Structure 1
Amino acid sequence: MAGAGRRYRYVGPTDGQASVPDAPEGWPIRSLVDLDTYLAAADPRDRDEPFTYVIDLGGTLRLAPRRSEHVACAGGGEVLGAGEIAFAGERGGWVVTEVSNHSTGYCPGPISWAAVAGALDKAGICRPECFTAAVVFRHCLDCGERNLVRDDDYICALCGAELPEDVEPRMMAQPSTDQRSR
């Protein structure tokens, strides 16, 4: 799986990337034992909410507490997927109860599910057939803002411009400083 799938680079705010040196990378989950170890060591409050996750370029799931930045979880690098994930214990292992691609730092498309599913399968973790909550991101061509599209409303939340319906934000060139100040 290494190198498979679409790569996502960090497109979030610079303060998120600046936090990388001060935060540990996400814990690699390559097996149920790794997940057991991580969850046993996690703060009990963290186990009650979804975790931040990334899928690194080697196809490994990495977990961090929900309040962690995705870019820190990824060690500052590119990812094959990112979002939030929750687990429940079942006899003989763990099952994913919720999983999304909600990461405003990486803005992964719903097609990143293939990398997420592959990482979960490789680790032996039961999973749903698709994201339980898939998010669509778009980059505003007028003001440069990253947008989370809700209810098929392709309107920029910052400037009100129409958003492209078929282009993910990381595929767009970042507007120049002059364009952002218009």
Structure 2
Amino acid sequence: MRRYEYVGPAELRDLPPVDVAGIRSRDDLAAWLATRPRGELAEPFTFVVDLGGTLRLAPRRSEHVACAVGRPVLAAGEMGFATGEPGSAAGWRVDRVSNQSTGYCPDPECWPAVAAALDAAGTPHPGGFTDAVLFRRCTSCGQRNIVHDGDFACAVCDAPLPVDG
């Protein structure tokens, strides 16, 4: 699997991790989610899959690089959960997941790492990104861009972005 190095601002690289959980089982997930304020459960969480294949979760406003403790990752993005049985470890499932991380800019092809981490933790998931994001670096100005609606134009200088990764 491809490794993604941190490509975001240098000043964020050394941020301390904030309330990061390594999720290896359904019980790990249920225990960590039980500590979250109710309002926080309504929005997606920051996640990375570390090089060992472990899913690491942090509150949404956490930086991916802090969640990864500054290390390379196999995947990164945002992940939301739903449950059919409130408070039940067996009831939690991933209901939305993206690869949106401007710090790591992972390709949608990182999904197998996410699926493997969730499968290892016994957590049901949608089988693919519910919102896959394409990142491209502008060859004219160097800015990282998220491609929206197939528009391969730099948001900063309007130069064409590479179509292929």
Deviating more after overlay: 154-163 vs 88-97: 88-97
Structure 1 unpaired stretches of 5+: 168-182
Q: Is the 8 A contact 1:24 1:75 kept in 2?
A: no
Residue 17 of structure 1: CA displacement? 1.4
Matches within 5 A, 1:8-47: 8-19=4-15, 22-24=16-18, 26-47=20-41
Helix, strand or coil for the counterpart of 2:48? strand
How large is the RMSD of aligned CA atoms in angstroms?
A: 1.2
**CA offsets 1:30-84 (integer angstroms, 9 cap, x no match):** 0000001100111222212100000000001000000000000000000000000
Q: Percent same amino acid at aligned positions?
A: 56
Distance, in Å, in 1 between the alignment partners of 2:115 and 2:56 is 13
Distance, in Å, in 2 between the alignment partners of 1:113 and 1:84 is 12
Aligned length: 161
Matched, 1:72 2:63: no
Q: Is the 8 A contact 2:18 2:62 kept in 1?
A: no
Residue 25 of structure 1: CA displacement? 6.6
Moved over 4 A (4+): none
Question: TM-score if structure 1 supplies the norm length?
Answer: 0.85
Question: TM-score if structure 2 supplies the norm length?
Answer: 0.94
Structure 2 unpaired stretches of 5+: none
Matches within 5 A, 1:12-161: 12-19=8-15, 22-24=16-18, 26-91=20-85, 92-161=90-159
Distance, in Å, in 2 between the alignment partners of 1:161 and 1:144 is 11
